[in-house]
Structure 1
């Protein structure tokens, strides 16, 4: 309709046609907007539906005004301007007032008193700006159309329409939250230009009586209305819901543009008037002065509001939102600024992630809140209690030195969280300091907490200088590890696994060595740094290559299996099964001749680790549980984990030959394994008596210093050759 209207206007300047022709697109465009508004109301609900219904009614009155004006053109006499009757002007005014009412009743999400006062001043700024512009507009209008009653009514209607547009702009600038998409409001804003623009077009089109300024702009009123409704439909299609509340956090910044734009426009208007006439009217001088005062007041209040918001943000930065405790930022600043003797306590809730995943985030949040209340009560009112993030808490104590003991004692009492009674085990790092080392206290407590978390079970670690030395040593070992791995400094030894009672070699366990550094000195560091993944891949490849060489040299049945230890960190690597499969394929080694040894603790939690073990078992690789009987829930793992063998821990072997109670577990384990069809390997056999007793109890495989210490590959090669020679003889 808008395009058709433009074509008709352009054509009408070249040839005459019936006067009603230009009103067909005008009326049709307004009808389309009414239909679009009603459609938006049907598809929404709540405040949103009420808004679209109100603007549909307002646009309906504008549609009636358009029809009425078309009738006026046919029935009323011309008197220097296109005819427009009182009825038509009233309909325009009513439609405009209803539109303004709909906009003013649109919720904005609530305000503080400063924000409300700022909005009032924004309206006042726009009103004064509009008043100055209106005084200039009225003077221009009277020069063009005279001072007849109809001219005054036309003035009122046009000014009302312009005010509607100004209200839309102010509303957009100051809305902080709204159920209506901001795009819809922006499409409605240009409608306010329709009134003044139609008056300008009336002047421009006076030489062609069959053309009309109102008819020229009304299709565009319909177009912008339909586009506003379309923006609402797009919001709904994107999943915005029936009455979405859309936050506009930057509304305050955009709202500050209202006085700036108003001041700029009036300054331009006043400058143009003065240059053209050489003087300013009383209204213009007074209005400009009032406008400047309003802008100054508005900006002063906005500055105060910004300062208030900054204070609020600063307070929030110092407080944890969930628990109400102090935040990490406040806590670290408090520790650094402490001026006397103090104790810093850092606390980590063990197994919190398992609780959060198992019972849900609501229970996890409830647990954190309940523990925060417990900490606050235990620490006393003179302590600084903070939640440092996640499941970590901090205490800054200047008194009550027994707080740590009371924390550990309270762990035996369950906490109520979301209907669950939960026992909370904690790791605690503690450091004592004074004003001279306050800035370093937090770091020292973190070192102590890290050491506590590395231990088994809940425990307390107090900082001392040895922790610093251990940290330095670990950093050095980590750097040397990376260099040594790149330089090929690692090698493997192999400890024989033998049959009982004849001692025949049936397998070996591969053990990594690095210079004169004990595995206990570098394996934990490799785990902490993640280098264990790269080191473990090298061990797997090297062991498979050696097993393939023995297989080729001594036959496929000379050695039943080569075992490789895989750490908990390696089991969490999704690529582990692919790494094993690639090593087997690269060296043409059957999967059944590789045994992966894992610990019970590594797969106790299930998840990724258990999935890796299952994938390895599906490759055909043997799975052995190492140090069996010392980890978590051993018997349950025999049902859930695809195990082929269990390796009985040395601590049970040491008890053989003693009392029946000492031998009970070793006897029970071999019975369980036999029933479930699992192989058993006794570890740490150091004497002939232990080997004999194990055989009597039903054990058929063992390893330990009694048979052989870990040996280089060449020594195992010689043992296999000698064993083949005995068999041949």
Structure 2
């Protein structure tokens, strides 16, 4: 069978054929229509179904593909049977029954048998002995119910069509089709994790009614011999088949990779006895009211049905216990790693008595690893890390995955966390990759409130760049202070409590001011000065740095415009503004900068954006933002160069115009050649790559002289000037040759 693809026109064609058949039947009760015309929608509808089943098979794999292929073959047999019946109707004389040859009946039985075989071979989920017993009892309940209904159907059939050989063959064919429908219903109600879409199974179920319904229609169409019961139902068989294939196509397209215990499937399974009992009761009530008695088969079948229902419910009660235990385990354990879940871990920490230790671990940069290596490797990394933690922890420890890339370990006693701190000492093997992970670890020891304390320590480790933080009371005080600062930040921004100072950048050796770097300051209404070291990290954590940064950019551009108007366009070659890592992942930053430059009519090349190496080291969104800023014409400077994730390759991949050499390297000037090595190398690299170099933190004349000797032509530091208010910069610019104070 060649591969097929789902076509959007399958469903409209099948629907049109069903509607056309209804219209032909209605019209045929008034005017005699050609016999062959009644069969056209039936044949076209079945062709669409065979094509739909083949498309469903092509989009599936394994047992699912085999199932849809078998159904396509079964429906192909039904299509051939319909063609054969069309020939029978056109060539054979009518003998009371509609013309129906042995060949046609055999083909219908073959199609129904093939469909039943396909359904019986379809996997239905768990294979425990209880599940197998339940399935067998379900089949028996439905079979007995069908037998009771079938006995009544046979009586009706004999009364209408007699006991001729042709009539009995017709009856066998119709019952075979009905059995196929019964098997579908059993599959729907008992399968737990069937690979076939439940919607597809429900659309297949009505096909089993086609046989008995066609015989009913045969009696209704006796006044109109040009109409046929089979022709009337086959277009709807085609429509249901196409809708089943369509449901399977959509199910495969939106399939989810992980499965859990299907409680709803279990509930549907337990509904089989109830549905069977209700239907049987309704049937027997109708028969009793219409005939005044019940047959021996109906009475015996009802008794057997009750016994089967009791047995089925007894097994269901036993299965419920297993199901509840499985659900409880899923609630206690993480599905991916098999470790305990957050809920179980927090409960275990709260219930533990005596001194104990809680260790929380977070995998740094896991998202980047997951994005670069793929989710399969990411999942494998989490599983491998969970196994390593379990191996490092004590036998009586509780190891849990708390969610995402965060893990927790509960240890008895104190001073037991040492082995866990080496969890990243060796690479982890993940889907063919060896990955060395970095960790943030929070540790809390004692007897009370340990989980919260460990969370505080972990948060401090992650935000402060530390690897391991042990909880103590000072962390709580810092947390309270940080919360207070966070609450005040937005109010301060709205109240105008922030202002900017500017530190001159000078030319060596003359000391002439060529540019300035803007620095933010916060003064409370009571005169208290809040250090940037205290509020900038809080602004980063809360996200307020984006709004604060936009204010800084606009203020810097406004000040640059004012100096430009007052002192001429060449008074300062550059005015620098610091941009944080959080701002760089904001896609709106280039628009903010462009709008501020346009609003204040400042040439883009006059603005320098200072970034840190760490902020762009990983590439991604941050590097894309820097590239967009460079495309505006803004200068880019790497601040504190040499202290972060230093990489000479960064100078090639990042659109840098200048590097600012950190004060720690300037402090080594005048010492040994080893102490001067980095400062010496950087100026050579920068000159080769056509980059400007600015030495930061220059505090002595000796340092300035040595920097000039090494090739540095720009510097800033307390030797030249401390950060100054705008008015002081005005005074310097007003001098004929502005030199730093």
Residue-by-residue CA offset, 1:359-401 (whole Å, 9 max, x unaligned):
44444444333333322222121111222233322211115x5
Distance 1:85 1:606 in 2: 74
Distance 1:716 1:433 in 2: 56
- SS of the residue aligned with 1:317? helix
Distance 1:93 1:238 in 2: 30
Query: Residue 568 of structure 1 is aligned with which of 563, 581, 592?
Result: 581
Corresponding position of 1:406: 419
Paired residues of 1:2 and 1:25 also in contact (CA < 8 A): no
Segment of structure 1 superposing worse, 589-598 or 649-658: 649-658
1:378 correspondence with 2:367:
no
Larger radius of gyration, structure 1 or 2?
A: 1
1:227 correspondence with 2:243:
no
Deviation at 1:10, TM superposition (A): 6.2
Paired residues of 1:350 and 1:427 also in contact (CA < 8 A): yes
Query: Residue 731 of structure 2 is aligned with which of 709, 718, 721?
Result: 718
Query: Residue 119 of structure 1 is aligned with which of 135, 139, 142?
Result: 135
1:491 correspondence with 2:499:
yes
Corresponding position of 2:383: 369
Distance 1:169 1:70, change over 3 A: farther
Deviation at 1:471, TM superposition (A): 0.9
Corresponding position of 1:50: 70
- SS of the residue aligned with 1:632? coil
Corresponding position of 1:621: 634
- Counterparts of 1:179-218 in structure 2, within 5 Å, are 186=202, 188-201=204-217, 203-204=219-220, 208=223, 211=225, 216-218=228-230
Distance 1:85 1:639 in 2: 83
Distance 1:561 1:276, change over 3 A: same
Corresponding position of 1:513: 521
Corresponding position of 2:459: 450
Deviation at 1:582, TM superposition (A): 0.9
Segment of structure 1 superposing worse, 88-97 or 312-321: 88-97
Query: Residue 466 of structure 1 is aligned with which of 469, 474, 496?
Result: 474
TM-score (norm 2): 0.84
Distance 1:11 1:495 in 2: 94
- SS of the residue aligned with 1:266? helix
Segment of structure 1 superposing worse, 707-716 or 221-230: 221-230
Corresponding position of 1:319: 333
Supply the RMSD in Å over aligned alpha carbons. 3.8
Deviation at 1:14, TM superposition (A): 6.6
- Counterparts of 1:136-151 in structure 2, within 5 Å, are 136-140=152-156
| Structure 1, gaps ≥5 residues long | none
Distance 1:288 1:533, change over 3 A: same
- Counterparts of 1:504-653 in structure 2, within 5 Å, are 504-515=512-523, 516-653=529-666
Deviation at 1:695, TM superposition (A): 3.6
Query: Residue 362 of structure 2 is aligned with which of 348, 357, 362?
Result: 348
Segment of structure 1 superposing worse, 144-153 or 652-661: 144-153
Distance 1:564 1:307, change over 3 A: same
- SS of the residue aligned with 2:521? strand
Query: Residue 489 of structure 2 is aligned with which of 481, 488, 499?
Result: 481
Paired residues of 2:88 and 2:101 also in contact (CA < 8 A): no
Distance 1:285 1:432, change over 3 A: same
1:707 correspondence with 2:720:
yes
Deviation at 1:604, TM superposition (A): 1.9
Query: Residue 667 of structure 1 is aligned with which of 680, 693, 697?
Result: 680
TM-score (norm 1): 0.85
Corresponding position of 1:24: 36
Query: Residue 272 of structure 1 is aligned with which of 280, 286, 299?
Result: 286
Length, aligned pairs only: 706
Distance 1:506 1:258, change over 3 A: same
Query: Residue 174 of structure 1 is aligned with which of 176, 179, 190?
Result: 190
Distance 1:10 1:454 in 2: 76
Distance 1:132 1:524, change over 3 A: same
Residue-by-residue CA offset, 1:474-511 (whole Å, 9 max, x unaligned):
11101100110111111111122223333322222111
| Structure 2, gaps ≥5 residues long | 1-16, 58-64, 524-528
Residue-by-residue CA offset, 1:31-80 (whole Å, 9 max, x unaligned):
55665565567654634223321343355456546755776644x5xxxx
Paired residues of 2:668 and 2:675 also in contact (CA < 8 A): yes
